Each structure stands twice: as structure tokens, then as C-alpha cells.
Amino acid sequence: MRATSRRAELIRILRSRKRDTVPNLARELDVHECTIRRDLLTLTVDEGYLIDTIQGNGGGVIFSGQINPHRGSFSQEQIKVLTVLKEHADSYQVNVINNILETFA
């Protein structure tokens, strides 16, 4: 699984469960725990998701939402369609599509 797909799946899991553990997420996504930790760091720092990690008994990964709540709401199919439409759009339409993708993809 590619990093982008894995991170999208990780967010889907955390959105639905709100809380999980790094070992459990690593097993479920069939990757090493270090990979999950790197993905969580990328998702919080680069993507703006509000994800807390708490060590120790009763700790884990806690999903609190994201800075831009609309980000990640488009499916891969919707993103592909918009990307294809950009190829046939004028410069104004390309800017609008880019803004849509930036906000929702």
C-alpha cells in the first residue's frame, strides 16, 4: 500500500474509532509501528489533523478532528475526475478546481 493510500485509510480508521493503539493500527495496515508513527507525524504536521498520542496504560492514538474539517472528504474517484477536468479547463477554471482540491481533497 502506498503512503498516501495508507494515510487515508489510517484517517478513515481513526475517524470511525476516535481512539486506537499504534500496535493495533500497524497490524491492521500490515506495516511496522515506526511507519504508523511517521504517518501520524505527517498527518499532524503536514496535513493539519488533530491527532494526539499518549504513552502508557490507557494511552494510544486519539483522533480529535482536523484544522480543515472538509479536507479528505473527496474520494479518490472524485479527485481523479476533477484532475481530468483540469486538462480541459481554461486558466480560471483550473484555479477554481485547484482551490476545490486544496480544500476538499
Could you give the domains of the chain?
A: 3-66 (1.10.10.10), 68-105 (no CATH)
In percent, how much of the chain has pLDDT > 90? Answer: 57
pLDDT digit string, tens, across residues 4-51: 999 999 999 999 998 999 999 999 999 999 999 999 999 998 888 889
* Cα angle 13-70-85, degrees, rounded to a multiple of 5: 105
> In this structure, how many other beta carbons lie within 10 angstroms of the beta carbon of residue 36?
25
DSSP 8-state class, residue 72 = T
pTM of the model: 0.61
Residue from 94, 97, 90, 26 nearest 60 by CA: 26
More confident site: 37 or 102: 37
H-helix segments, 1-90: 3-17, 22-29, 33-45, 76-87
